[in-house]
Amino acid sequence: MNHEDPVLLHTEGRVRHLTLNRPRALNALNHAMVLRMAEALDAAEHDPGVTAVLLTGAGERGLCAGGDIRAVRDDAVAGGRASLDFWRDEYRLNARIARFPKPYIALMDGIVMGGGVGVSAHGSVRIVTERSRIAMPETGIGFVPDVGGTYLLGTAPGELGTHLALTGEAIGAADALLCGLADHFVPAQGLAALVADLGACTTPEDVTATAGRHARPAPGGVLAAHRAWIDSCYAADTVEEIVDRLTGHEAPAARETAATILAKAPTSLKVTLESVRRARRLGGLEAVLDQEYRVSTAAFAGPDLVEGVRAQIVDKDRDPRWDPAELSRVTHADVARHFAPLGDRELGLGPAPEAG
């Protein structure tokens, strides 16, 4: 094992370990890592000596902070297409994880955002800890939730997923369990014992049972207490009406949320709401990933992704200049173009899109 590899591979007992290994970048995903993971899953699936796969992140801060968005911005500024190739393989990996025939265990400890959600929350055994901070924060950088995020958020109870998609809010263990993004809470100090016991498992059933034995009640979350105003306000048809309902609500948290949303990219907000609503109708993950690839391709060509990453990551002035700068100036046509079929450039995981 070369400790400089961006994804480390080794086997303990009958469990194949995949460790994301860019700790100084909070294990942000790049194309090489995605391809390495795909190859590792292919090998593990066909190895009779492997019962399960375990995903972890190197370092102390988290599993994965997402994709390497600085590299995406550089690619967009240069007029390249490498990011589109990266997303194509990344989304295919997300689908591969979801249908992997052996237990795929993800330790969602620490920061798990964006692409980190894509390589963990589609797994079959998803473990969170008291240190977990899980988010799809794309609207804050002029992008739209991807990696199957709109599928996951679209299946969350009530309008919780819409709330998380628009605000980019980070949630802890209990709320991740409530939203269906995780399966078990295990205290961080208990992870080593869990991993050791998993190594002794010889069947998929053993893996599932072992994870369950190590699970504990999660510390209290936040979202359950806010369900009433979240479900009421986010049931509106448009982002503008959602903001109006939040602003006019008696709950202080609702009014604070309105201000949070208004700081995000207006185009991203409208496309995100449409993406989540469409994802619910599409049903299957593969069809949603196809839709997300169309949306990501369109967003890559727009001005807000470059500007959002500049403001948040490059210059860090936290003062993005969105174009358009107001929700009222984002037209139906602006939103619709994000969902236009790509012809021979489609991702092609699900059924072909219908004309119109």
Q: Which residues are catalytic?
A: 67, 115, 138, 146
**Tokens 């993971």, residue located:** 37
What DSSP string describes 52-74? Answer: EEEEEESSSSEEE--B-HHHHHH
Q: Are strands 7-12 and 15-20 parallel, antiparallel or unpaired?
A: antiparallel
Kind and range of the H or E element at 202?
none
Contact 140, 308 (CB under 8 A): yes
- Residue 170: CB atoms within 10 A of its CB come to 16
- CA 81 vs CA 48, 77, 158, 308, 315: distances in Å: 38, 11, 37, 19, 24
d(CA 174, CA 323): 36
Helix (H, G, I), strand (E, B) or coil at 20: strand
d(CA 355, CA 343): 11
